[in-house]
Amino acid sequence: MAQTPEDATGPIPTIGTGPKVAFLGLGVMGAPMASHLAKADYQITVFNRSAPKALAWVALNRGFAKPTPVEAVEYADFVMMCVGNDDDVRSVVYGPQGALAGMKPGSILIDHTTASADVAREVSAACAERGIGFVDAPVSGGQAGAQNGALTIMCGSDDEAVFQRAKAAIAPYSRACERLGKAGAGQLAKMVNQICIAGIVQGLAEGVNFAQHAGLDVDKLVEVIGKGAAASWQMDNRASTMNRGEFEFGFAVEWMRKDLGICLDEANRNGARLPLTALVDQFYAQVVARGGSRWDTSSLVHLLQND
C-alpha cells in the first residue's frame, strides 16, 4: 500500500520483505526504476532534489521519502542513484548531507547516471575508503525500457562479488546486466553505446529524407528494409515519427549532447578518433539552435527537411 505524503518522511520502511534500498533521483528514468523495486516488495526509501517529486512518487508507490541523501540511505543495503551529470553525482554523494556520510560499511552504491569514467573511479575510491562497494552502472533502453523493466545495464566494479550482489538487487528493472571491467568500465561502455547510436540515427535521418525526396512511402519502405541488414531499434521505433516530423518520443537532444561531449573528451584522452561522432554532435548543436533542446534525438532529420 502506498504511503501518503504525510507519512512519507517517517522512519525506515517496515513494509516489504526484499532488500532495504534507497533510490536517489526520481527523473524520467529513476522514477520508474524505483517503482519496479517497490513492486518487487523491496523496502525502499527515496530522495529527490525536488522534494515534491519524491512525495508524488510515494503517493503512488510502496515506500518513504527523505529530505536528504544521508537520511535516505541510513539503513540501506543498496543505494541506487540516477542523476544528471558528474556535478550532480558529486553533490548527491559527498558532503555532510551526502550519501557516503550515511551509508554503512558493507553496503553498495550503484550509480546509474551516465557520467564520466573519471567520476566513477573517483567515487569508487571514496567508497572503498569507507568499506562500501561501488558499481558504475549506466543504462540503455530509454524511458520505455525503464517503464517496462527492460533496461540493459553496463557495469564497472573493482570487485566481482560486489557486482554479483548489485546485479541481483537491480534485477527488477534490468533485462541484461554485465560487468565489463573495473570501476569506470560501465561508463566507457555507455560511451560506445552512444557513439553507435549517434551514427545510426544520422544514417536513418538521411535515409528517411532521401526516401521522401524520392517519393517513396516511408512506412512501407521501412516494413521491407527493416527485415534486412538495415534493421535497427532506431528504424523500428523512430523512422515513422521522423517521417511525420514528430520529436517527442524519447531521449532529449540536450542529454545526448552531454553524453557525446563525454565521449569526445574521453577520446581526446585515449587517442581514439571519432570523426562521425564529432560531426553528429555539431548537428545536434544546430538542432538546439533551432529550439530543439528537448526534442528527441531523431530530430536530426529536421535539419534535412527544413534546410
Q: Do domains 5-181 and 188-305 have the same CATH topology?
A: no
The span from the CA of 272 to the CA of 175, in Å, is 30
The span from the CA of 218 to the CA of 209, in Å, is 9
Would you say 154 and 178 are in contact if contact means Cβ atoms under 8 Å apart?
yes
The span from the CA of 9 to the CA of 97, in Å, is 16
Q: Which residues are marked as active site?
A: 190
- Thinking of the domain 5-181, which architecture would CATH place it in? 3-Layer(aba) Sandwich (3.40)
Domain ranges of the chain: 5-181, 188-305
- Spatial neighbors of 218 by CB under 8 A, at least 6 apart, are 208, 211, 212, 239, 240, 243
Q: Cell numbers at residue 117, please?
A: 569514467
Q: Position 156: which residue type?
A: G
pLDDT at 126: 98
DSSP one-letter code for 299: G
Say which CATH topology domain 188-305 has: N-(1-d-carboxylethyl)-l-norvaline Dehydrogenase; domain 2 (1.10.1040)
Whole-model pTM over 0.85: yes
pLDDT at 296: 96
pLDDT at 250: 80
Q: What is the pLDDT along the chain (307 residues), one digit of tens a residue?
A: 344 333 444 444 446 778 999 999 999 999 999 999 999 999 999 999 999 999 999 999 989 999 999 999 999 999 999 999 999 999 999 999 999 999 999 999 999 999 999 999 999 999 999 999 999 999 999 889 999 999 999 999 999 999 999 999 999 999 999 999 999 999 999 999 999 999 999 999 999 999 999 999 999 999 999 999 999 999 999 999 999 999 998 889 999 999 999 999 999 999 999 999 999 999 999 999 999 999 999 999 999 998 7
The span from the CA of 26 to the CA of 80, in Å, is 11
